[in-house]
Amino acid sequence: MGRRVSEVTGSVGRVPASHMPPEVLIRAEGLVKTFNKKNSPPFTAVAGVDFEVRRGEVFGFLGPNGAGKSTTMRMIGCVSPVGGGRLSLFGLDPDTQGPQIRARLGVVPQEDTLDLEMRVRDNLHVYGRYFGLPRAVIRERAERLLEFVQLTDRAEDKVEPLSGGMKRRLTIARALINEPEILILDEPTTGLDPQARHVVWDRLYRLKQQGTTLILTTHYMDEAEQLCDRLVVMDKGRIAAEGSPRDLIERYATRDVLELRFPLGEQEQAVEKLQGLGERLEPLPDRVLVYADDGEAALSEVSTRGLEPVTALVRRSTLEDVFLHLTGRTLVD
């Protein structure tokens, strides 16, 4: 067998991936999900997506709210019936073998579903018992997992007073109690403050290093860039592009971006004067983006053309720019 989460905190050495061909754990072909709401036309949340997730990789779904990420994740988690197309996990069929599949998954839902009245440790216990694990096994794993998510000293406290970041880490620990082969995270850091996000990222990065297969959705491009080996950009229920973060940036953006802000009402004129500058112009409501491989050169060209922006900033391209190029919209509204 491959690497499991049991190795997360233990001393067990991991198997180098190079000795094995990449094993496909999840395969989706033309995956569709349509909701039939009363008194309104059917709503297609996922409109035919194809992807593969291989053992040991971190695979991301990047897209704005409503792109169909969570619905796709729910189908992968076997808690929402497949609406069309084909989906298989571990070569099993979610429709008929959901319990077997779920036994091998760990899920961190978008909203924490912890029992706030219970103690931290008991939350892990209840969840472990749901998987049918013996008490002694849960006790031993809970110890390790609480240490892994840095909650050992809160083990006997109730969940309620914990901070958002701690609750999220506890949810991650809980999802690991059955030593899953795949950990699914739906927007793991949404709603957390920057410091708490970094702690979560750090833990996820460790899981990744130990070879756990991770699938995550996010609408934060920095999260996707930091964690994902490979990702798909989703928009309106479809996959707009697929690749590694670096691939996507190289394919769909220039090296640099020049961000220019002009005084109110003067942007339109400015955009006209900017035509031809860089590879591409992207006027947004509050600023203009100039895509150019050399941002500094583009900036000096701006003043040469007699323009005086209020602010000017040269930065590297990110997945945000990829998304903007693919969909014409920003990720976070």
Partner 1 sequence: MAVLDPASVPVPSPSASGPPAPSGWVLTWRQARYWITFFRRTWRGTVLSAVLGPLMYLTAMGVGIGTLVDQDHNLPGGVTYLSFIAPGVLAATAMQNGIFEGAFPVLGSLKWFGNYWAAVNTPQRPRDVMFGTALQGVARITILSTVFFAAMAGFGTMHSAWAVLALPASVLTGTVFLFPMMAFTVTLDSDQPLTVVFRFVMTPLFLFSGTFFPWQQLPAWMHPVAFATPLWHGVELCRELTLGTVDLGSALLHLAYLFAFLALGVWLALRNYRRRLYLDR
Q: Is 214 in the site for partner 1 (CB under 8 A)?
A: no
Question: Is position 210 an interface residue for partner 1 (rule: CB under 8 A)?
Answer: no
Asked if 110 interacts with partner 1 (CB under 8 A), we say no
| First-to-final CA distance of the chain | 43
Length of the chain: 333
Q: Does residue 105 interact with partner 1 by CB under 8 A?
A: yes
Integer Cα distance of 61 and 69 in angstroms: 6
Burial grade of 110 (CB within 10 A; 0-12, 13-18, 19 or more)? middle
Residue whose CB is less far from partner 1, 101 or 298: 101
Question: What's at 205, amino acid-wise?
Answer: Y
Question: Residue 65, interface with partner 1 (CB under 8 A)?
Answer: no
Residue 86 in contact with partner 1, rule: CB under 8 A: no
Does the protein bind partner 1 through residue 265 (CB under 8 A)?
A: no
Report if residue 66 touches partner 1, rule: CB under 8 A.
no
Among 84, 119, 131, 201, binds partner 1 (CB under 8 A): 131
298: its two tokens: 């583009």
Written as six digits, the tokens of 110 are 């978008």
For residue 241, state whether it binds partner 1 (rule: CB under 8 A): no
Q: Can residue 25 be called a binding residue for partner 1 (CB under 8 A)?
A: yes
Binder among 52, 64, 100, 144 for partner 1 (CB under 8 A): 100
State in angstroms the smallest separation of the CB of 15 from partner 1: 5
CA distance 293 to 276: 14
Q: Interface with partner 1 includes 332 (CB under 8 A)? A: no
Q: Beta strands 182-186 and 84-89: pairing type?
A: unpaired
d(CA 249, CA 233): 12
| Residue 225, C-beta contacts closer than 8 angstroms, at least 6 positions apart | 245, 318, 319
The interface region with partner 1, picked from 15-23, 202-210, 279-287, 312-320 by CB under 8 A, is 15-23
| Beta strands across the sheet bearing 105-108 | 105-108, 182-186, 213-218, 58-62, 230-235, 238-243
Measuring CA to CA, how many Å separate 194 from each of 33, 164, 197? 34, 12, 5
Q: Is 130 in the site for partner 1 (CB under 8 A)?
A: yes
* Residue placing its CB nearer to partner 1 in the complex, 24 or 281: 24
From 188, 207, 238, select the one nearest 71 (Cα to Cα): 238
Residue 325: CB minimum distance to partner 1, A: 33
Residue 132 contacts partner 1 per CB under 8 A: yes
Region 164-183 residues binding partner 1, contact defined as CB under 8 A: 174-175, 178-179
Q: Does 81 bind partner 1 (CB under 8 A)?
A: yes
> What residue ranges bind partner 1 (CB under 8 A)?
1-2, 4, 6-7, 12-13, 15-16, 19-21, 23-25, 35, 74, 77, 79-81, 90-92, 97-100, 102-105, 107, 109, 111-117, 126-127, 129-132, 174-175, 178-179
